[in-house]
């Protein structure tokens, strides 16, 4: 059972996983939720925070799906936070804990551009962004590019020396337009350490990719 993979929060996972994802986006599926959970627990072990609030926020942070190319993309985290608020409220959770989960989900998103204020919110943002860099980040970049109908790269100018970067047309451009900018924005000391490691992997991947083409 998938919920057992979320130990020691398997009871929360059993309850919340049926609400955790919507749509068919393989970059925001149950596997993504599990990776973010593992990242979050790794950071939590060093940084602290209320575990059940953090785990619930992780489990529900993508419970509303909005495509990357949608004009409503920057509303995705607010919609997910509102849905999480309803789910937890109907279960009788204390208002303060619901508010903590709401804030963490609201502020985790890059596109929402809202600064996290609590430790749990900072950990969730770091844990989610770790999944956007490194080898998994590269894989997700190309998956989303294919989903959006992008080409892998511009065969005449792959590094955009004589053109503007355009990650809607060329998936590899997303490394420069976004992925390489993420490592500098991590909020916890543990997250920053992990981000530096994955950033280096992502840079190495791009170097090897360009060599092969």
Task: State the pLDDT confidence band at 68, using cuts at 50, 70 and 90.
Answer: low
Boundaries of CATH 1.20.58.1910 in the chain? Answer: 132-213
Q: Provide mean pLDDT across the span 7-13.
A: 95
Measured at the CA of 67, the angle between CA 79 and CA 179, to 5 degrees, comes to 100
Please write the tens of the pLDDT for every residue from 132-158. Answer: 999 999 999 999 999 999 999 999 999
Which pLDDT score is estimated for 153? 98
Between CA 154 and CA 92 the distance in angstroms is 53
Q: How confident is the model at residue 113 (pLDDT cuts 50, 70, 90)?
A: confident
The pLDDT value recorded for residue 206 is 97
pLDDT of residue 28: 83
Arch. (CATH architecture) of 132-213:
Up-down Bundle (1.20)
Phi-psi group of 32: left, alpha or beta (phi > 0 → left; psi -120 to 50 → alpha; rest → beta): alpha
Of the candidates 108, 28, 35, the one whose C-alpha atom is nearest the C-alpha of residue 66 is 28
pLDDT number for residue 70 = 60
Q: Return the pLDDT at 194.
A: 98
Mean pLDDT of the chain: 93
Mean pLDDT along residues 81-89: 96
Given a cut of 90, whether residue 23 has pLDDT beyond it is no
Percentage of the chain lying above the pLDDT 70 cut: 97
């Amino acid at each position: 059972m998938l919920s057992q993979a979320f130990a020691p929060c398997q009871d929360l996972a059993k309850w919340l996983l049926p609400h955790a994802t919507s749509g068919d986006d393989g970059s925001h599926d149950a596997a993504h939720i599990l990776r973010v959970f593992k990242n979050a627990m790794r950071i939590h072990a060093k940084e602290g925070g209320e575990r059940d609030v953090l785990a619930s926020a992780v489990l529900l942070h993508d419970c509303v799906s909005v495509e990357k190319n949608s004009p409503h993309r920057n509303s995705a985290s607010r919609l997910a936070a509102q849905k999480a608020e309803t789910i937890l409220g109907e279960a009788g959770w204390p208002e303060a804990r619901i508010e903590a989960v709401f804030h963490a989900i609201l502020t985790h998103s890059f596109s929402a551009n809202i600064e996290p204020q609590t430790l749990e919110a900072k950990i969730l943002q770091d844990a989610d962004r770790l999944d956007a860099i490194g080898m998994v980040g590269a894989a997700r970049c190309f998956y989303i590019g294919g989903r959006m109908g992008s080409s892998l790269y511009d065969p005449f100018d792959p590094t955009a020396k004589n053109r503007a970067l355009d990650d809607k047309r060329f998936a590899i451009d997303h490394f420069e337009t976004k992925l390489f900018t993420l490592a500098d924005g991590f909020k916890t000391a543990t997250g920053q350490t992990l981000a530096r490691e994955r950033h280096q992997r992502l840079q190495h991947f791009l170097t090897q990719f360009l060599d092969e083409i």
